[in-house]
Copies of this chain bind each other. A is one copy, B any other.
Amino acid sequence: MQIAALLYEDFTALDVVGPYEVLSRIPGAEVVFTAVEAGPVRTDMGLSVTAERPLAEVTAPDLVLVPGGPGTQAALGVPALLDWLRAVDPGTAWTTSVCSGSLLLAGAGLLTGRRAASHWLALEHLPLLGAVPSTDRVVLDGKYATAAGVSAGIDLALTLAGRIAGDAVAEAIQLVVEYAPEPPYGTGSVATAPASLVETLRASQLRVPAL
């Protein structure tokens, strides 16, 4: 099973690395990191990760993983990227995204009329691209699996691992990555965070001010 993780300038590293850390551990899985051009790709907060192969060489992945991040908007204007998503999607078993990556799937026309998750700040843009926004953390609509922001990709990937390889394998992977989270605060979603914090971050476009 080939898993293609799509990289582009200013994506959010954890959107890819969370799911990769889970999915790469499925027996028989091979992950390929791909971008318009091979080479280092800079993420939004500075880390660079390597795209091993250009999109043109990744033609038949079984699973596509699309991250989000501040670069999503620019990526929506890159025809090579949207064309690739449209070209490979018919052959996938799963087409997936984390965070605002669902905007790219929707922008490629793959989520029309489908329910999809996204980062809470990006959800409102999904209808403009034909998708039906959901505030769920993980949304499966047919083979289209989408996650909420950043860290939600770990939950998505464990869910997919269960569907792909069975619960026993997914349970084992969850223990390998020791995923028994203990978030120190209760502010991980707009449903539980104070409205004032949500508004502060909305106004600042997610830049954390020195509060």
B13 and A21 contacting across the interface, CB-CB below 8 Å: yes
A78 to chain B, nearest CB (A): 22
Query: Within A24-58, which residues are at the interface with B (CB < 8 Å)?
Result: 24-28, 31, 33, 40, 45-50, 52
- Most chain B CB within 10 A, of A148, A188, A192, is at A188
Copies in the complex: 2
Report chain B residues within 8 Å CB of A187.
Answer: 171-172, 174-175
B201–A185 touching, CB < 8 Å: no
A52 surroundings in chain B (CB, below 8 A): 48
Cα A137 to Cα B177 with chains together (Å)? 12
- Given A49-B49, A192-B180, A208 and B155 contact (CB-CB distance below 8 Å): no
The reply on A60 being an interface residue by CB < 8 A is no
Determine whether the beta carbon of A210 is less than 8 Å from that of B151: no
The distance in angstroms between the C-alpha atoms of A12 and B24, with both chains bound, is 12
Find chain B residues with CB under 8 A from A28 CB.
210
